[in-house]
Amino acid sequence: MENKDHGSALVLGVCLIIGLCGLGYVLGNAALQVKELERTVRVKGLSEREYKADVVIWPIQFTEASNNLEELYESLEAGTAKITRFLENKGVKAGDISLSAPSITDKSAQSYSDSRQAPFRYTAVQNVTVYSRDVPLVRSLMTQLGELGKQGIAFTGGGYDYQTEYLFTQLNQVKPDMIKEATTKAREVALKFAEDSKSRLGKIKRASQGQFSITPRDRNNPHIKRVRVVSTVEYYLSD
């Protein structure tokens, strides 16, 4: 009796193994067929536009020198007052003008410097910064600093940390239209591909939006910004 039960179990086990193997083959073959039938095309759509900067940050840097520290600070205050008055008279709002602490250099305190050769013991650099949304006004004033130069103010070119900056702050407002445009262009490319390959364009399989970039249009026009985004879309294709 036990041998009979053992034989039945063995037969059942073999049948199960054969059945599972057959099922695996069928499912595997079906998966391969589905994979072969799944055809897609991946395309990119570009949206690129130009906008004028809506914020300007303009650092105005000037220097003073003296052998008397008190007189040096008085010269800095006088120079700052002239610049501030010039800006306000030209239409810049007082709230758009800010001052930084002056940078004072005492040449006699520098071990690597021969103070006997320097005409002045103290030199100072002062920064007056304009932060304004009236970009055209500020740009026009940049060409009028000669008026202050005639009043005895010695402007410096400004280092890397004191370059004029132009900002475009309306990105969130233009994003929706640009994304729509990039997606539309991607679909146009996909439709052309489907037409050329005698296929039909199906639904979107996956899509990704690239990062928005904001760069100057060119070196001579940093106040004009180029906004750019690329969308990548993958479509199904069918016969």
Region 55-166: CATH code: 3.30.70.2970
CATH topology of domain 39-54+168-239: Translation Initiation Factor IF3 (3.30.110)
Tell me the C-alpha distance between 238 and 39, whole Å.
7
pLDDT for residue 137 = 97
Tell me the C-alpha distance between 138 and 144, whole Å.
10
The first and second tokens of residue 9, run together, are 């179990």
| Adjacent-strand bridge partners of 229 | 47
pLDDT for residue 110 = 66
Question: Which residue's entry shows tokens 């602490």?
Answer: 101
Handedness of CA 212, 217, 220, 224 (dihedral sign): negative
What is the domain partition of the chain in residue ranges?
Answer: 1-37, 39-54+168-239, 55-166
pTM: 0.76
The first and second tokens of residue 109, run together, are 């305190």
Task: pLDDT tens for the chain, 239 residues: list them.
Answer: 545 555 555 555 544 555 545 444 444 443 334 444 578 999 999 999 999 999 999 999 999 999 999 999 999 999 999 999 999 999 999 999 999 999 999 887 765 655 556 788 999 999 999 999 999 999 999 999 999 999 999 998 766 677 899 999 999 999 999 999 999 999 999 999 999 989 999 999 999 988 999 999 999 999 999 999 999 999 999 87
pLDDT for residue 43 = 95
Rounded to 10 degrees, what is the CA torsion of 70, 74, 77, 81?
180
